[in-house]
Chain A
């Protein structure tokens, strides 16, 4: 007989019960007799999203290769099951063994976006684990957080026992070893946390105290435990060609958001766009070896049966052997009926040639991310994409048979003026005009240009971490400026303009640069019933605004306030390699509209070379 945590009566009344039964192809099964450490790996969103995340698959593979360790998965129950579990007091369980999370040694939660914070509380709550780290006992798992949002862990610090800063591949063997040693000598929860606090990349929030100045900014952030380090350096893996990578990724029964093999070709990005957090925290740039990637691609296709493979990286065009890799994939996989889905490549004759081989030109569209409407503002944000490059790329593509273009912009960037905003409409118009330069007989139908703008959110560890963010009203009035200008364009019928929700952007801004005081807001929102805030259908701005005012938090202090250069940030205790001095220099360059060359052209001494590798380091030696 099979074992399921949920009875049929419940599984048959919820949407997509396959989310909760596990047993997928390539799921790891271990005999619990041979297991002494149980790790529950969580992505705090619905199954289809969580199953699409590469990082979890990598860590799942890594943990399960460790002898005696059994890593299982858990995702947020969808709202229908959430209600039933509370009603029937059913504890949250892991998919593999269907055992309660509460009985595990560790609960690891990957934190990919700010708007999942209430789902973290949902996971803890449904698992019957106390929400606050300080309330947990020896009966509770150690709760670990990781992922990009861990680079400012402070708004959620009180809910976690540990944060792992950096890439998990480096740190977990030590964490597990220390856990076993501590248990063997009869150590308790606190003694484990003290021992683990000594490892690079490990942050134990309860071992630090924060004091504030009268104006609400941070005065001091100091350890209160002798084992806690002053500064915590992220851990990263330097050799990406000799490390864990799942050769047998899990294949879900229900269609995941990523229903394909994902091949991560490199980490980091050479570009240095000043708004981009990923571009800073993942430095230095590290490529995977091409032969390793070729073998992996073939192996993963064979082991999953997926009919599509997609390349993953922050900027695939910068991978040094991209041409060779794509030619291999086309030759090896195309005839086996495998689709190759291309990430947004820089549009040039090479990428257009590749795209025409792997995509249906009539259906596919070209994507550009100018991010800003004018060259001046693109210089401010250090987006090295010129209008000429965009228009030349479009002209080439239009001649090749494409007629759909997507343009991505941001509104509310530092120094933005009305003419920068109007530039979004004007650039869209120029793209449309480029199409009509083709002789009439050679055109295939009409051109379609879709311009989308998101609202700029200053993120920690970027040159814009000091910047002011717009209010909701300001965001919307800027979107109106763009929209009004769109209506004046000659080809307005070929151009579609849409913009993001402004209220959720403002909240993201609060959570992204928040401090420990903000944790109360998240608690209040959760208690008021907020979960799945990343889903438009469930996001409730009024509840969040209430949660903010109940917590006595001044939203503007965190969002619209430009920071002083000397201000102590909540995340200053984390060392990502890239220095605060470099970020200051770049903030200054932004204000002066100075462009900074990318890492391949010239090293800017950002500090990431401290890891003793990566493209900048290799070029110097």
Chain B
């Protein structure tokens, strides 16, 4: 059986790296005595895969991990047990059963929502709302991205699905996943560059709010939160 677990990463937990979150979660599963399946071999490991790594310094209300189990209790009880053995700032939010042939969370990821705020005393010195509209009205937003081996040009425009002021900060819906992953800090630094400024790394407080996959219903493609691909276990 495949299970998809959603959890949050709040407060000081933003300083725990993705690799350490993976190790942490293996121990959560052990402490909760989840009947997880193991790989074959002399050093078997838990069958577990994470949807999308979160950078150091970001908080999140939507981290996803898929696991494979031999048997399971209902969602409500499983949540209770998992939260009892979790640290308070990384609560487990949902525990859903997937279909046996379900696509891995990692492969599904297509978009993510972010809430971004400027850190105190790092606010922009120009009209930011105005800058967003002129930024988004362009036909293309070309930036050069440096990778280890080369530099390549990418157009951010088609990867920004939404970008607007929201509750003392900004809401963004951006392309995510293995093909076109766009980080919110890249959008902000492009916007700063557009205004002849450079963005200091530390300026932004970023929270991931949701991660989506694409689901086809009635011939129409829709962004669906990863947890909605599964069902609660009664």
Shortest C-beta distance, B145 to chain A (Å), equals: 22
Among B17, B56, B87, contact of A23 (Cβ-Cβ < 8 Å): B87
Considering the complex, which residues of chain B in the window 1-59 have a beta carbon less than 8 Å from any beta carbon of chain A?
11-13, 15-17, 20-21, 23-24, 26-31, 33, 38, 42-44, 46, 56-57
- On whether A21 and B12 interact (CB within 8 A), knowing A254-B20, A337-B44, the answer reads yes
Residues on the A chain within 8 Å of B179, using CB:
none
Whose C-beta in chain A lies nearest to the C-beta of B119? A8
Given contact pairs A23-B87, A337-B38, A360-B42, A305 touches B29 in the complex (Cβ within 8 A)? yes
- A251 with B56, Cβ < 8 A, contacts A2-B12, A2-B89, A305-B85 known: no
Within A1-22, the residues touching B (CB, 8 Å) are 1-2, 4, 8-9, 11-12, 16-18, 21
Residues of chain B lying within 8 A (CB to CB) of residue A1:
11
Q: In the complex, which residues of chain A have a beta carbon less than 8 angstroms from the beta carbon of B201?
A: 12
Which residue on chain B has the smallest CB distance to residue A306? Answer: B27
User: Do B20 and A23 have beta carbons less than 8 Å apart?
Assistant: no
Chain A 241-261, CB-CB to B under 8 Å as 1, else 0, gives 000000000010111000000
Per the bound structure, the CA–CA distance linking A307 and B28 in Å amounts to 11
Q: Is the CB of A12 within 8 A of B202?
A: yes
Q: Is the CB of A304 within 8 A of B31?
A: yes
Q: Mark B56-94, 1 if CB is under 8 A from A, else 0.
A: 110000000000000000000000000001010100000
Contact at A23–B89, with CB atoms within 8 Å? yes
Q: Closest B-chain residue to A24, C-beta based?
A: B87
Given A2-B89, A305-B85, A11–B27 Cβ distance below 8 Å?
no
CA distance A7 to B29 in the complex (A): 32
Known A-B contacts A12-B202, A23-B87; A305 and B28 likewise in contact (beta carbons under 8 Å) = yes
Q: Are A305 and B30 in contact (CB under 8 A)?
A: yes
A residues near B42, Cβ cutoff 8 Å: 360
Complex contacts, A21 vs chain B, CB 8 Å: 12, 15
State A462–B204 Cα separation when bound (angstroms): 59
Which of A11, A12, A307 is within 8 Å of B30, CB to CB? Answer: A307
| Pair A307/B26 contact, Cβ less than 8 Å | yes
CA gap between A1 and B10 in the complex, in Å: 10
Whether the pair A17, B15 counts as a contact (CB closer than 8 A) is yes
Contacts of B23 in A (CB 8 A): 253, 255
Q: Which residues of A contact B26 (CB under 8 A)?
A: 305, 307
Return A401 CB to nearest CB of chain B, in Å. Answer: 13
Instruction: For B20, give its contact among A4, A8, A9, A253 (CB under 8 Å).
Output: A253
Question: CB of A302 within 8 A of chain B?
Answer: yes
Say whether A454 faces chain B, with CB atoms less than 8 Å apart: no
Instruction: Report the minimal beta-carbon distance from B116 to chain A, rounded to whole angstroms.
Output: 15
User: In the complex, which residue of chain B has the Cβ closest to the Cβ of A6?
Assistant: B15
Minimum CB–CB distance from A303 to chain B (whole Å) comes to 7
The answer to whether B89 touches A8, judged by C-beta atoms less than 8 angstroms apart, is: no
A301 to B33, CA, bound (A): 11
> When each residue 459-496 of chain A gets 1 if its CB lies under 8 Å from chain B and 0 otherwise, what string results?
00000000000000000000000000000000000000
- Contact status of A251 and B27, CB under 8 A, knowing A23-B87, A337-B38, A360-B43: yes
Report yes or no: A25 in contact with B43, Cβ–Cβ below 8 A: no
Q: Which of B13, B21, B31, B57 contacts A302 (CB 8 A)?
A: B31
Q: How far is the CA of A290 from the CA of B30 in the complex (A)?
A: 25
Given that A23-B87, A305-B26, A360-B42 are known contacts, is A18 also in contact with B11, CB under 8 Å in the complex? no
Query: Do residues A23 and B12 form an inter-chain contact, with CB atoms below 8 A?
Result: yes
Given the contacts A17-B15, A18-B20, A305 and B31 also touching, CB distance less than 8 Å: yes
- Interface members, chain A 503-551 (any B CB < 8 Å): none
Given A18-B16, A25-B87, A254-B20, residue A2 in contact with residue B27 (CB < 8 A): no
Q: Are B20 and A12 in contact (CB under 8 A)?
A: no
Within 8 Å by CB of B27, from A16, A254, A304, lies: A304
Contacts of A303 in B (CB 8 A): 31
Cα-based distance from A25 to B13 in the complex (angstroms): 12
Instruction: State A337–B30 Cα separation when bound (angstroms).
Output: 10
Shortest distance from the beta carbon of A503 to any chain B beta carbon, whole Å:
36
A23 to B87, CA, bound (A): 7
Report A249-296 residues with CB < 8 Å from chain B CB: 251, 253-255
Q: How far is A23 from B24 in the complex, measured between Cα atoms in Å? A: 12
In the complex, A506→B69 CA distance in Å? 56
* B27 contact set on A, CB distance < 8 A: 25, 251, 304-307
Q: A2-B89, A17-B56, A337-B44 are in contact. Are A11 and B15 (CB under 8 A)?
A: yes
| Closest Cβ–Cβ distance, residue B189 to chain A (whole Å) | 16
Residues of B within 8 A of A16 (CB): 17
Chain B: minimal CB distance from A302 (Å)? 7
Q: In the bound complex, how far is the Cα of B42 from the Cα of A3, in angstroms?
A: 43
Contacts of A306 in B (CB 8 A): 27, 30
Which positions in A face B, CB cutoff 8 Å? 1-2, 4, 8-9, 11-12, 16-18, 21, 23-25, 251, 253-255, 301-307, 337, 360
A-B CB contact pairs (8 Å), 21 listed: A2-B12, A2-B89, A8-B57, A8-B119, A8-B202, A12-B56, A12-B57, A12-B202, A17-B15, A18-B20, A21-B12, A21-B15, A24-B87, A253-B21, A253-B23, A303-B31, A304-B31, A305-B85, A307-B27, A307-B30, A360-B43
Which residues of B does A touch, CB under 8 Å? 11-13, 15-17, 20-21, 23-24, 26-31, 33, 38, 42-44, 46, 56-57, 85, 87, 89, 119, 201-202
Can you name 6 extra interface pairs (CB under 8 A) apart from A1-B11, A25-B27, A305-B85?
Answer: A8-B119, A18-B16, A25-B85, A253-B24, A307-B27, A337-B46
